Every structure is written in C-alpha cells, then in structure tokens.
Amino acid sequence: MSAESSPEIKPSAQLTHKEIMVVLSGLMVGMLLAALDQTIVSTALKKIVEDFDGLSHYTWVVTAYLLTSTASTPLYGKISDLYGRRPVFQFAIVTFLLGSFLAGASQNMTQLIAFRAIQGLGAGGLMALTFVIIGDIVSPRERGRYQGYFGAVWGLSAVAGPLLGGFFSDRAEIFGVAGWRWIFYINLPFGIAALVITSASLHIPKVVRQHKIDYLGAFLMVIGVVSLLMCVSVYGPQDGWADSHTLATAAAALIFTLLFLFQESRAAEPILPLNLFKNHTFSLTSAMAFIIGAGMFGAIIMLPLYFQLVRGDTATIAGLKLIPFMIGIVSTSIISGKLISKHGHYKRYPILGLALMSVGVLLLSTINETTPYWKLSIFELMVGMGLGLSMQTIVIALQNSVDFKDMGVATSANTFFRSIGGTIGVALFGSVYSNRLSHYLAENVQSLAATNPAAMAGATPEKFAQLKNNSSVIKEFSPDLQASVYHSFVQAFHVVFLAAAPVVFIGFVLALFLREVPLRSGAAHHAAQQEAAGESLG
C-alpha cells in the first residue's frame, strides 16, 4: 500500500473524567454560540432594520442563517468521518467567528444577510460535531452523565437569546459601537476560547482513510434542502401555500431530493449512506428528532409572542418568563443522564418525555388572557421536562446502534432532521397562527360592531391593516375593542397548540417502538473505536 493512501493511526487511551470535562467545556461554548444565534437576533431585528431601512428584507436575516446551518449539518458529519473531528470542528469555529465579525461590521442589509449566511455555515458544524465528538470520546453507557450539560446549553440559549438580544438592542451605543452590533461581537471572545480549549485538549485518534467525496451528492442535497426551506420558511408564509413561488420551490425540493437519493444509491462514498435507514434505531430516532424539533420550535416559539401580545410584556420580561421551560430541560437532562449511566436503560425516558410534552402542549391550549403565571409555568415545565428526557436520550440510543465508522454521519443526520423539523414546525404553526388570527379578528370584530357599534369608534381599516405588523396600534382602540382583539390572539394560540399536540403525540407513539439495546461500556466502546481504525488499513 502506498504511503499516500495509508491510514495514519495514533494510539488512543480512554480519557479520564477530568479530561472529558475540559473537552466538554470547549464543545459547550461552541454549541452555545450556535444555539444562541438562532434566537438572539429576533429581539434585535426591529432596531437593525430601522438602522438599515430594510424592513422588506428583515426575515432574510434569520432565514439566511437557518438555510446554511441546516443544509451544511450532514456534510460536516461525513467530512469529519473522512478528515478527523478536530480540524473540521475548528474550521466551523473559525467560519462562525468570521461570519460574526463581518455581520457586526455590516453597513447595509445585503451585507448583513450575506454574513449571516457565513455564520450559519459555521453553526451547522458546531451543532452537528459537538454530539459526534462526545460520541467518540465517551461510551454510550457513560454518556448519560454528561448529557445534562448539553440540555443546559439548549435551555440557556432558549432564554438567554431573547434576553441578550433585547439588552443590546435597547442601548444606542456600547463602547462607542451601536448596541445591536454586540449581539455578533459578543461571540468573538467565547469562540476564541472554544478554539483554544479544543486545540489544547481535543486529541481524538486520527484515522485518515482513502476516500472520495461525493460532490454531486453534496450539491444535490444542499439544493434540495435550500429549496425546501425556501418553500416552508419564506414563500409559503409570505406569499401563500398556493402561490407559484411556493409550488415551484416545493417541486424543486422534491425533484432534487429524489435525485439525491438516486445519487446516494450509486455513489462509492455517499454523503448519507442509505443503508443507515435499514438500521431500525437510526430510522426511528430520525423521525423522532424531526417531531421533537417541530414540537419544540414550532410550539414554544409562540410563548414569547403570547407574553408580549396578550400580557403586554417586554421582550426581556417574556424571555425571563421562559425560565421554567429551561429548568425543565436542565433538570431532567441531568437526572435521566445519571440514571442511564447507572442502570443502562434508556427507552423509558423518551416515552415518558414525549408523553409529558404531549400533555404540556395540550394544556397550553387552555391559556387565556387571565391565566395566572404560576399555572403557565407548570405547563412550560412539563414541556421542558419532556424535552430534557427525550432530546439527548435518542442521540445516545442512535450512537449505540451504529458502527463506529458511521458515527459522524449518523449523529449529524439526527441533528439535521431535528433542524428540518424545527424549521417546518415554525413555518407551519406560524401559518396556522396567522390564518386563524385573521379569521377570529374578522369574526369577533364583526360581532362587536353588531352588538356595540360605539366600541368601533376610531377603528379604521388602515389601523386594522397596520395591526398585522405592529400590535402597538391596539392602544388606540376602545377598551371593548381591545378586549376583542386580545381574545382573537388567544383563540389563534389555542389552535396552534391544539395542532402541535398530536404532532408531539406521534413522537410518543414512535418511542414505544424503540428497541432497547445494551449500551456499550467504556471498554467495548474503546475496542469498537480501535476496530474501526484497524478496518481502515484494509
């Protein structure tokens, strides 16, 4: 065998708990940055578009990040399988930092959108490879004790994102720089820290295999994913689901997905090996990840909207009121992780978690204008606990069921399906909300006009049109009309949560079919790692 194609194998030893925690700190910082930037921009968008006079393009600030981060996720898994985890993970950090710096320095909306896309390209690797690397260095049996930390990251980002976005955007300047620009600049010191930590501590056995990247498959997959996300997150909500743009992007998504599947069936080194879908656990956990993403992002994103529209809270207060949700995720992630490590059983946790989520989302459909916060906190806590019990557990089940050589692509595929589920959930539930709000507003206002015409004084058609984009106009209405509008908001939220509950319940049904396979211990995991390295010699 030539030296050019010979694999380089460095002997490895199992890491100690202290060494794992050092690696974990770098991974958690990277993952926090990626998760945080999904939410931190939302509360600052108003200030950004005012500075750039770019209201007509504001959704692209979020969408550009979402497109590149989601489309790149499975590519990172495959490339890291071929070239090694550390260099690919560090490439993702550097790309994310470059995008963050440029986004903070943007001078117009076009630049901001382009640089957010670069940020997303790095974020896709941060989110995907974090779980892959943990799968490399910690055995499935012992991984549970560390999963709570990642649950904490997700919970923290859900609350801290809107809080920090509101904090920075509410300040005209910080150290002579426009306040909103710090939502991007704040990433730099943390990203550099993650780079230093992983450079010093992330020493995974390097196995360089003879390889051939499936460039055509990668191209087809990216175009298919981008077409799908354009359909569900841009054209569908913006122009309507029967619009020509929506139908064209939906058709493109279907065509390129079919072409991608055909290419993967014949490629020598596929981006997503289709034989993975023959693995019962891989297929089941992929479907569950999709549903968890849809339920988590699609339903929970409505809560801050409820707090701001119906209860009149600021963006900062609305973020603080999500703390029970975070507590639920963190507490059950830690508890279930420790129990999995202790007893070796994992199936019960996603079953219990998705049952709790289903009930919690269903209970959210009962909230109204006067629901006490303590009651809503219990509903939030239930949904958070459900996520904490299920989200990380299915990753452990997946990684325990696949060959070591497929660890990267299988784990990143799970992250990919959760991201796709979240994107589709946000778009579809958002459309349900908009549709039902228009219906209930028209119905309730018509009823009020018939029974109490005096309440309609000053309520012009222009103000109702303005209401779709700016809720502050409600203050100009009469008290009776205000009450009618707020009730319309509540009715629309009811339908969203009622639509989300059966989606989450499908995940519960799927969890019942999960097969419990004995978790590999540290010694068995280490042996599988060495075996995978040895196989590359052939």
* pLDDT tens per residue across span 379-418: 999 998 998 888 888 888 888 888 777 777 788 788 888 8
CA distance 322 to 173: 28
Report whether 124 contacts 71 (CB < 8 A).
yes
Report the number of secondary-structure helices (H) and strands (E) in the chain: 21, 2
- Residue 216: is it exposed, middle or buried by C-beta count within 10 angstroms (0-12/13-18/19+)? middle
C-alpha distance across the termini of the chain, in Å:
9
Nearest by Cα to 100 from 81, 113, 118, 78 = 118
Is pLDDT of 523 > 60? no
Mean pLDDT along residues 480-500: 86
Q: What is the pLDDT of residues 32-65, one digit of tens each?
A: 877 777 677 766 666 776 666 655 555 677 777 8
Query: Mean pLDDT over residues 213-241, rounded?
Result: 81
What pLDDT is attached to residue 297?
Answer: 66
Residues 361 and 171: beta-carbon distance below 8 Å: no
**Would you place residue 88 in the very low, low, confident or very high pLDDT band (cuts 50, 70, 90)?**
confident
What's the pLDDT band for 207 if we cut at 50, 70, 90? low
Q: Is the pTM of this model over 0.75?
A: yes
What average pLDDT does the segment 358-364 reach? 93
Q: Is the pLDDT of residue 378 over 90?
A: yes
Q: What share of the chain is helix, strand, coil (3-state, %, to 5)?
A: 80, 0, 20
Cα–Cα distance for residue pair 260/266, rounded to 1 Å: 10
Give residue-wise pLDDT tens across range 147-159. 667 777 777 777 7
| DSSP sequence for 366-435 | T--TT--HHHHHHHHHHHHHHHHHHHHHHHHHHHHHS-GGGHHHHHHHHHHHHHHHHHHHHHHHHHHHHH
**Contact between 346 and 396 (Cβ < 8 Å):** yes
CATH 1.20.1250.20 fits 17-213+269-442+489-535, yes or no: yes
In the chain, pLDDT over 90 holds for what percent of residues? 12
CA distance 319 to 308: 10
Report, as an integer, the average pLDDT of 290-295: 84
In the 8-state DSSP scheme, what is residue 177?
E
**Residue 538 confidence (pLDDT):** 43
* Residue keyed to tokens 């809503």: 376
Of 473, 457, 465, give the one whose Cα is nearest residue 438: 465
Residue 188 CA neighbour count, 13 Å, CB half? 13
Residue 356 in this model has a pLDDT that exceeds 90: yes
